[in-house]
Amino acid sequence: MSSVAALRVGIVRDDRFLLHQPGLVHPEGPGRLKAVYRMLDMDFGHAVMEIQPELATLEQLELVHSPKYIRKVLRTAERQFTYLAPDTTVGSQSYLAAYLAVGGCIKGLQATLAGRCDVCFALVRPPGHHAHPNRAGGFCVFNNIGVTARYAQKRHGLRRILIVDWDIHHGDGVQELFYSEKEVLYFSTHFMGWYPQTGDWEETGAGEGLGYTINVPVPKDIRDPEMVYLYNRILNPVMERYRPELILVSAGFDGHYRDPLGRTQLTELCYRNLTELLVRLLRRGGNTPVLLALEGGYNVGALAHCVSEVLDVLTESRDDKQSPLTETDKSRQLIEKAVSIHKPYGVWTY
Ligand SMILES: [Zn+2]
């Protein structure tokens, strides 16, 4: 039993996210969220607060995206099918889902910053962390997390935002947006053999932002305890030294062993343990607002299972027990390398 007050958990959901039809054989299909919503109705109906998303405004989208690109996305409404990028296809109503995905994240942010909930999970699609200011890519149309972080800076005056990206792909779009600033600290673990093949160790930021991008490329056979060890060893000092005012999570679940694209070795337990860490960090920061946004995860059953584990931890507020961290040669080497690269910046290393 938890000895502290339960967390109030918000959920952004909307059936209009299912309108995004990238094509019958595309892995990022509406079946993903259908499975997640079905699980929600069965297991978490009363445990979460539902937040209705609204369409993002032009002003919000322009915090990150160019007017020309936004117009290009809008024009996809005129055709049954459009290639925004070779891997990013959209139907005539996809623009609506894309606007709603950004708007939903912002609505979730507003709910957490206003204290209506402690943590919010935006269960949206299309995903966002590969989207750039002028182009789509990696199934992403708009950069949901990127716009949300900019909004938090511009409208709420936040000066230290931590973005955690546990999707198995590197969030190249998010990294690029905040690469030269210290107001956003981006931390990503990913397998570099996959798309977009960025996020190498030495990509640590530029100018004022040097040291505020932390990339940890992981081997394909990394196991749950090793991943959880990495996150603990990096995020605990980040929390202590950087003291974020907001934590955003690019929550992708394609590192799951059943995922057709990720094909790594992680299980739902990894995401459960990472969420437990997240809850501890949130408490440690004196209830730092947390917003998770769904990114990848392409085996619909595994995806629903992973989201269920995350929500189980959040709704039960299980932050009072920490299983001992398993240190292996592999996890020790990864941390040693991260520390040796980041030590000169002193952002989180001691
Ligand atoms: Zn991914």
Q: Is 130 a catalytic residue?
A: yes
- Cα 119 from Cα 209, distance rounded (Å): 27
How far, in Å, CA of 5 to CA of 283, rounded? Answer: 10
Give pLDDT, residue 1: 43
Determine the 3-state secondary structure of 10 from DSSP: strand
pLDDT for res 318: 57
Q: Tell me, what's the pLDDT at 319?
A: 54
The answer to whether residue 217 sits within a structural domain is yes
**Domain assignment of residue 323, yes or no:** yes
Residue 148 near residue 102 (C-beta atoms within 8 A): yes
Measured in Å, residue 300 CA sits from the centre of ligand 1 at 14
Task: Catalogue the E-assigned strands of the chain.
Answer: 9-12, 49-51, 81-85, 88-91, 119-122, 161-165, 184-190, 213-217, 246-251, 290-294
Which pLDDT score, from 0 to 100, does residue 2 have?
44
Ranges under pLDDT 70 in the chain: 1-4, 317-323
| CATH code for position 82 | 3.40.800.20
pLDDT tens column, 249-299: 999 999 999 999 998 999 999 999 999 999 999 999 999 999 999 999 999
Taking the centre of ligand 1 as the mean of its atom positions, its distance from the CA of residue 283, in whole angstroms, is: 28
Domain that holds residue 117: 9-345
Would you state the pLDDT for residue 128?
98
- Count of the separate structural domains present in the chain: 1
- Identify whether 318 is part of a domain: yes
Ligand 1 centre distance from Cα of residue 204 (Å) = 21
99 lies in some domain: yes
Q: 20, 65, 130, 305: which one is catalytic?
A: 130
Query: How many Å lie between the centroid of ligand 1 and the Cα of residue 309?
Result: 18
Residue 194 CA neighbour count, 13 Å, CB half: 23
Q: Residue 4 domain-assigned? A: no
In a domain, 2, yes or no: no
Q: Which pLDDT score is estimated for 324? A: 72
Question: Pairing mode, if any, of strands 88-91 and 81-85?
Answer: antiparallel
Residue 60 lies in a domain: yes
Positive or negative: CA dihedral 304, 319, 114, 117: positive
Tell me if 1 is assigned to some domain.
Answer: no
Spacing, Cα 145 to ligand 1 middle (Å): 14
For ligand 1, an ion, list residues with CB under 5 A.
Answer: 167, 169, 252, 254, 296
